[in-house]
């Protein structure tokens, strides 16, 4: 019963076993195939999803029609368009699975209801967003002021499993460079060693 997601919540703030049980009972378990679209531009994001198993990307389409990947999410991460979900307004983003994926999702009404019943869960989620914010902030300044090569090395350190799971062009998109540039960066890094 007390699964990874419970540990994930408890890492934010202590929550009793009964409360966790209520929380768990409101989650919807989903198994979806690779390349499933969980959210499309123009739709309102109806879920916050915790990834039990698998891999997901969040991206938007830029003015040239190219994907720009904002986030990868793997096991023990949450994925959602927070802006669209929490204001229940149309999203600019796409969320799509990269592997067969198992998810636990909450919808907007359940989440609101849960927070009213169990204020400690609201605390846990507040703390989770704060942490996500500070991670995004760090990533933001890494992107602004580091070279493509050092961003790639940072990426490898932080997400060691992803290069085996995700096509390289998508990693390039995440890093904000072209696949060609990433390829060259890799050969340069090999030469240095």
From candidates 83, 119, 167, 189, binder to DNA by CB under 7 A: 167
* Contact partner at residue 148 from DNA, its own copies, none, CB < 5 to 8 Å by partner kind: DNA
Residue (32 or 173) nearer to its own copies, CB: 173
* Contact partner at residue 145 from its own copies, DNA, none, CB < 5 to 8 Å by partner kind: its own copies
Report 102-161 residues binding DNA (CB under 7 A): 147-149
Shortest reach from residue 104's CB to its own copies, in Å: 20
Shortest reach from residue 168's CB to DNA, in Å: 3
* Alpha-helix residue ranges (DSSP H) falling in 88-160: 108-117, 119-145, 148-158
Residue (32 or 84) nearer to its own copies, CB: 84
Is 98 in contact with 165 (CB distance < 8 Å)?
yes
φ and ψ at residue 57, rounded to 5 degrees: -125, 150
Q: Rounded to an integer, what distance in angstroms lies between the CA atom of residue 52 and that of residue 29? A: 9
Is 7 in contact with 76 (CB distance < 8 Å)?
no
Shortest reach from residue 156's CB to DNA, in Å: 14
φ and ψ at residue 120, rounded to 5 degrees: -60, -30
Residue (100 or 122) nearer to its own copies, CB: 122
Is 128 in contact with 12 (CB distance < 8 Å)?
yes
Is 159 in contact with 126 (CB distance < 8 Å)?
no
* Contact partner at residue 180 from DNA, its own copies, none, CB < 5 to 8 Å by partner kind: DNA
Q: Rounded to an integer, what distance in angstroms lies between the CA atom of residue 181 and that of residue 53? A: 31
User: Residue 181, interface with DNA (CB under 7 A)?
Assistant: yes
Residues that bind DNA (CB under 7 A): 64, 147-149, 167-169, 176-187
């Amino acid at each position: 019963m007390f699964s990874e997601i419970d540990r994930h919540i408890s890492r934010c703030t202590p929550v009793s076993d009964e409360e966790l049980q209520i929380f768990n009972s409101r989650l919807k378990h989903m198994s979806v195939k690779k390349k499933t679209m969980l959210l499309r531009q123009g739709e309102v994001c109806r879920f916050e999803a915790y990834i039990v198993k698998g891999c997901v990307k969040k991206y938007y389409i830029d003015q040239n029609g190219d994907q720009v990947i904002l986030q990868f999410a793997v096991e023990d991460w949450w994925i959602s368009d927070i802006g669209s979900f929490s204001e229940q307004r149309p999203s600019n983003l796409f969320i799509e699975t990269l592997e067969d994926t198992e998810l636990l999702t909450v919808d907007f009404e359940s989440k609101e209801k849960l927070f009213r019943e169990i204020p400690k869960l609201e605390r846990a989620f507040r703390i989770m967003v704060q942490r996500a914010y500070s991670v995004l902030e760090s990533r933001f300044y890494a992107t602004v002021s580091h070279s493509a090569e050092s961003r790639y090395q940072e990426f490898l350190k932080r997400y060691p499993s992803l290069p085996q799971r995700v096509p390289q062009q998508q990693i390039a998109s995440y890093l904000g460079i072209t696949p060609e540039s990433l390829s060259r960066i890799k050969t340069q890094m090999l030469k240095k060693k």
